[in-house]
Every structure is written in C-alpha cells, then in structure tokens.
Structure 1
Amino acid sequence: MRLRHPRRASDRATNGDTDRATDGGTLSEAESDRSAEESLLDFPEPAAVTGRRRRRRRILTALIALAVLLGVVATLYFSPLLVVRAIALQDNDLLTDQRAQELLAPLHGTPLAQISQRDVEGLLEEERAVDEVIVAARLPEGLDILVIEHPPVAEVHVEEEILFYSQEGELIRTFDEDQREDAQGYATPVISAEAALENESVFKTIVSVLGQLPEGARESLDSATAESRDSVQLELQDGRTVVWGNDERGDEKAAVLEAILGSPAEEFDGVEVLDISTPSAPVTR
C-alpha cells in the first residue's frame, strides 16, 4: 500500500504556471515576432546603406535607358527602311537640278542617319556657284537640301559663251550658245573680255565694285570697264556714264548712286556723266 503525499501549494502554483505557459505557446511566438519587428523599426538601416542602394538603382535605370537609346540609334543608323530614295533641292538657280542630281547620286541608298552636312558639301564642292548648303532629312526616305549660291555680279562674253563671275572674281557658271536664254534675267552688267582677261587685279576691282551695288542699282547698268584700279566706270542702260573711281568707300558711293537714280530732280536729267568718285561731292557734266 502506497501512501499519497499531498502536493504543496507552491508545487501546485509552479505546475499551474508551467501548464499555462504550455497552453499559451502560440501567443508567446506571435508576441516574439512582434517584438522582433519592433526591434527592426527601432533600428533602421544606416544612411550609407540606403544611399548605396539608391545609387545602384539610378545606375541600373541609366544603363537600361542607354541600352534603349543605343538600340534606337542603331536602328536608325543601319536600317534599310530609312535610306535615301529621293533628293529635293531648293533655291538652286545657277546649279541646275540635273547637275545636282548627278553629283548627289552616291547618296542614294545610304541610310539617312549616316549622311552629314559635310558629305553633301563634299559632293558639291566643285560647283563654284554654291556658297553653302543646309541639309535636312525628310523621313522616311527623303533628303531636303537648301542651296545658297554666290550671286553673279558680272558677265563676260567669250566667243559664244557667257561667263558669270562672283564678287570675288571667281567664275561660277558658264552658259554655252544653247543656254543663252537661261543667262537672261540676271542683274549682271557686261565686262569686256579684254578687261577681264588682260589684267586680273583690274578685273577683280571691277567685280568688287559691282558687288557693292544693291541689285536694283545693278539692274540699271549695262556694262562696266576700267583701265586701272582707280578708274572704274559704269555704263547705265540709258547711256549715262557713272565715274566710280576705285573700290574704296563703296557703301557711300552705292547710296549716292541709288539716290541719283531714284531722284526726280531735273539736274540729273540730260547729263552724260555722273562723277561719284568722291561720294560727299558728286559732280554732273
């Protein structure tokens, strides 16, 4: 026969606490998780770590954008769908369309993105009438070229040809016998072949003087000549002679000539010579 020993109150209290702890085990784990989360919130990551993460994100974003950009550029640069199939020219006068298309033929079939201003200038450089060009792509397959030409200021007749010269004295266009009609309509006074071919410095002085004139005044001229660099004379279409002198003070002389040609004053009618070699004191006779 076994004797039962009654449990002490302290033992019952201890066992009760143990049982309650066992029964509430799940609640204690949840509380532990919350405590862990609260600990994380209580201790945020250092600013240096956050900064590095942001920098990595920015770098990654930039790399992705660069890759997309390079893909677009590569598509435009090499795509056979965006090649030159038509070239349109604007403001070309001395340079004919036919001649321009012949010179620019190598551009056909070239991707638009590969064509630069310098490429077009190189193909047209032998045409002295061309001063500069402005090039623009016209998607998907066109090229627009604005041509800025040297304006002709004088013409020289040599046998059956008409030679056009710029203000710098450069030959910019030759019209043969079959093209004489095409040479009409320009404000280009005639310089004798002797004056043009015998003395280069005198000839350049003449064309320099003509280049200083507004186009409206140049249209009133018939011819120009000179025996020396200081004796340029202009022949008006009405038969009057303008003594110009040298090519100095050209702007002043041009203004005086324009004023005389546009003046209704009788003192300029019936005279044979208008001497404006000293523009501040013009003389008529």
Structure 2
Amino acid sequence: MGEPRRDSGEPRDSGDRQHSGDHEPLSFPEPETVTERRRRRRGLLMLGGALLALVATVATLYFSPLLALRSIEVSGNDLLTDARAQELVESFYGEPLPQVSTADIRAALEQENVVADVHSRAELPHTLHVEIQEHPPVAEVHEDEAVLFYNDAGEVIREFREAQVMDAEGYATPEISAEAALEDEAVFAAIVSVLGQLPESAREQMSAASAESIDSVQLELEDGRVVVWGSDDRGDEKAAVLEAILASSAEDFAQAQIIDISTPSTPVTR
C-alpha cells in the first residue's frame, strides 16, 4: 500500500490562495451634512483671512504717515477770514488723514461764533476739504472806531477795526445803538431776535433798529418809514405781513410814516 501523498509546497489554485486580509475595504459616500460642514468651515476660514487682511490694511492706512494731512482747503467762509480759519485748524496738519474727523474740525472752527456748521471731505492722499456755513449778521453796532456784527443770538460774529471798517460797508445790516447793546442785555437780545426773524430781503431794507423795552421793538426803513414790531412773539406772522407790505404798492403803506404790525392780523398805518 503506498504512502499518502505529501504536500509538495507547490502553490495551490488561485482560489485557494485568497486570504481574508487581501479583500478591498468597502467605501461609503460621505454624508451630505459632513460635506456641508466642511464646506462651511472652509468658507469661514477664507472669510476670516480676508477680514484680517482688510483690518490690517485699514489699520495701516489709519496710522500711516504716508497719508499725513498737508493741505486744508476752506470754503464757504465770508466773515471768518482765511487766515483765522487756517489758524484754528493748524494743529491738524501732519495727522494721518483718516484720523481727522468732521467733528474734530467742527469743534476747532466753532470757537468762532460766526461758524454755524462745518462739513469736511478727505481727498487722498494729503488733502482735506472743509466747507463752512456761517451765521448771517443781523445787526451792527458802532463802538468807538470799531464796527461789530452780531448774530440773532446776540453774539459778536465779526469785529472790524481801523482799516477793516471799510469792509463792513458791504453788508446790509441794521444799526443798533451802542447804548442799547451795552446798557440792557434783555432789550438788545429782543432786538437781534426780531432782526433774525426777518427775511433777508426785508432786513436789507432796514437802516436801524431800537427798543425801550423788550416789548417795543421798532425798525427803521431806509426810506424813513418806521415799523412798530412790538415783542418778538408771533415773529413768523409779523415777518410775513411785513414782507407783503414792503412788496405792496398800495398808497396806505407807501405813504405811511408808521406801520404798526405789533398785532399782525390787523396792521395799522398812520
């Protein structure tokens, strides 16, 4: 009887040689939620990087000496001289332009009573444009050799002295006596308040204004007629009535010496 056949060590059939470790792992599609989270995270990282770059750029410009303010161009000023305006904003020269705000410029210029409002606009790299809005002069007071202009709040907005006095003649502002300005503040305040309520076209026809009390303001027209205004109450109504009277060719108004509009609903002439 023959011996059993031994395994010769020869490779077996390929089907017999496969082992469990040789199988390819199964792949499954990634859940949509995971993909979306990964996409969102990548977008946030990119956005964060862009924001950091933007902040760095802005910070560089905000503090950069390359944008130092070298020129301030002022417009809209009439009573405020160019020299005085430049003096008030002088401290801003050399500052980085993005750091100079309209509020800063306004605070500097409003040291002068004539300045009502200020707007500014930067022009890179070195220029700031400043536009000034002024309070209009409503009255003038002659004091010694000077002419003082006042706004409707009773504040001096320009003083002309010596050689400058001639420059004051170009403004149509009614004159108030120096006594009224100096002796009784309440009376003076009433006068300038009334003058401030007048339309500019009417104020230009006034030569003087006076009052003995806060309720007895009178305006003198250039043609000699006197307008009795009274107190500063109902100012809008009185201004409208006066404007209509000045534009009227009616004989009662044209020949009257006194026009009383202290009660605006019933003006009286005499």
Q: CA offsets per residue over residues 189-214 of structure 1, 9 Å max, x none? A: 00000111110000000000000000
Residue 281 of structure 1 aligns with an amino acid whose one-letter code is T
Is residue 2:23 matched to residue 1:36? no
Q: Distance in 2 between matches of 1:139 and 1:186?
A: 37
Query: Counterpart amino acid of 1:75?
Result: T
1:19 paired with 2:9, answer no
TM-score, structure 2 normalization: 0.90
**Structure 1 counterpart of 2:144:** 159
Gaps of 5+ in 2: none
Structure 2 residue aligned with 1:9? none
Q: Detail structure 1 runs of 4+ shifted over 6 Å in the superposition.
A: 2-6
1:94 and 2:88 are equivalent in the alignment: no
Aligned-pair identity (%)? 56
- Alignment partner of 1:280 is 2:265: yes
8 Å contact kept, 1:187–1:215: no
C-alpha spacing 1:5/1:104, structure 2 compared with 1 (3 Å)? closer
Tell whether 2:164 aligns with 1:174: no
Cα distance in 2, alignment partners of residues 221 and 188 from structure 1: 7
Equivalent residue of 1:135, what SS?
Answer: strand
Q: Give the Å deviation of 1:267.
A: 2.0
Question: How many residues align structurally?
Answer: 266
User: CA offset at residue 270 of structure 1?
Assistant: 2.0
Larger helix fraction of residues:
1
**Deviation sequence 1:68-125 (CA, Å, 0-9, x none):** 1111112211222211111111111111111111121111111111111222123223
Q: Distance in 2 between matches of 1:221 and 1:54?
A: 77
Distance 2:41 2:120 in 1: 42
Alpha-carbon distance, 1:52 to partner: 4.1
Q: Which amino acid aligns with 1:235?
A: E
Equivalent residue, structure 2, for 1:11: none
Name the counterpart of 2:50: 65
1:259-280 Cα shifts (integer Å, max 9, x gaps): 1110111222222111111111
1:238 counterpart residue number: 223
Structure 1 residue 5, shift from structure 2 partner: 9.3
- 1:160-186 CA distances to partner (integer Å, 9 max, x unpaired)? 111111111111111112112321232
How far residue 21 of structure 1 moved from its aligned partner, in angstroms, is: 3.2
3-state SS of paired residue (1:169):
coil
Which residue type is aligned with residue 44 of structure 2? I
SS at match of 2:248: coil
Q: 2: CA distance between counterparts of 1:46 and 1:279?
A: 80
For 1:85-164, what aligned pairs fall within 5 Å after superposition?
85-164=70-149
Structure 2 Cα separation of the partners of residues 5 and 133 of structure 1 = 115
* Matching residue of 1:189: 174
Question: When the two structures are superposed, what TM-score results if normalisation uses the length of structure 1?
Answer: 0.85
- In structure 1, the residue matched to 2:38 is 53
Q: CA deviation at 1:59?
A: 3.0
Q: Which amino acid aligns with 1:36?
A: L
Cα distance between partner residues in 2 of 1:61 and 1:246? 70
Task: Write the letter of the residue equivalent to 2:93.
Answer: H
User: How much has 1:223 moved relative to structure 2?
Assistant: 0.3
Name the aligned partner's letter for residue 19 of structure 1. D
Could you tell me how far apart the structure 2 residues matched to 1:75 and 1:5 are? 92
Instruction: Confirm or deny: 8 A CA contact 1:84 1:141 kept in the other structure.
Output: yes
